[in-house]
Structure 1
């Protein structure tokens, strides 16, 4: 961060803020109102702004993205409309992972133990083959293990293990995830 006192100035550099202004314009004109099936177009726009985007990625037009250069979207993942990727820090979404509508993936927070409440960021990693159901909030620094399912309206404050079904406020392990064919 540029400034450790949020009362006296911006936490991010001028370059970062100018890039976010440019991103906001491009997002509004070319991304937000693009037709739903144009996933390749939105992937192209994200790549132009530094996102690492795999093949077959489905990012819907109603996704809110703070800073695309802090996104790693692996092959065949899907991000539904209404998801907020508050990517002040890096967000990684694994292969074939799905993030459902209304979820808020938040990498930034403030240190309330220090004068000026300095902003800090922690990365979030969402593993391969995961499902983050509707309206889930994921706190900064959380890792969701491969194959994990996070139930709707959960608040995830700590790491969740692989191949488990987890839910609640705070989110906790409910049971093992069994795949039935």
Structure 2
């Protein structure tokens, strides 16, 4: 039985477009689960933090949290809190950011509306050039369509698309979704996943239920 190397950067020999994302992240405010992959055929995927996680400044202390076994397509963008100029003020201009220029001592963090972290579940597939806005939570098993702009939370195992993204359909029946969320195969030891890949890949939920 072959066990994948969790510590390598490139999961495929001679393929420098796909990386195990967790192993290239250095920013502690970005958390990525095991075996999540990012593919980039335009830029070096090693530049993910700079090219794909935007407006992510330490002052807001916001996090990007991505689960295990996610597939993130080329050009996906995560827009963090500093992309959100405040709408609670009478002006969207970021006056507090330029305190020195205006001779004031306003709280710099009042330049933006803080919409919390971006949280991506497990086994999520994010399509080409999708945009995920700050404060969004995407449930386990969801699929985000090509160039979708996700402004609201996405339920587990939903397929969403469009701008703004909306739910197009569910991947499975409610009964199967409930079973998958209970099984949580992505949390199994890797040896157990390897032994049961046939059932996961073929969609044999009934066999997965029997595994202890």
TM more than 0.5? yes
RMSD in angstroms over aligned alpha carbons?
2.7
Which has the higher Rg, Structure 1 or Structure 2?
2
**C-alpha spacing 1:97/1:38, structure 2 compared with 1 (3 Å):** closer
Choose 117-126 or 134-143, whichever is displaced more. Answer: 117-126
Alignment of 1:73-88 (within 5 A): 73-81=32-40, 82=43, 84-86=52-54, 87-88=56-57
Question: How far off its partner does 1:119 sit?
Answer: 2.9
1:20-47 residue CA offsets vs partner (Å, 9 max, x unmatched):
xxxxxxxxxxxxxxx828957982x63x
- Separation in 1 of the partners of 2:118 and 2:21? 25
1:107 equivalent in alignment to 2:80: yes
Normalised to the residue count of structure 1, the TM-score between the two structures is: 0.61
Q: Which has the higher strand share?
A: 1
Choose 79-88 or 168-177, whichever is displaced more. Answer: 79-88
Structure 2: segments with no counterpart, 5+ residues: 1-14, 95-110, 173-199, 203-212
The structure 1 residue matched to 2:31, chosen from 69, 72, 76, is 72
Counterpart for residue 172 of structure 1: 166
Question: How far off its partner does 1:166 sit?
Answer: 0.8
Q: How many residues align?
A: 126
Alignment of 1:9-48 (within 5 A): 36=16, 39=19, 43=23, 46=25
Question: How far off its partner does 1:99 sit?
Answer: 1.2
* SS across alignment from 2:160: strand
Q: Which has the higher helix share?
A: 2
**C-alpha spacing 1:41/1:76, structure 2 compared with 1 (3 Å):** closer
Contact 2:19/2:38 (CA < 8 Å) preserved in 1?
no
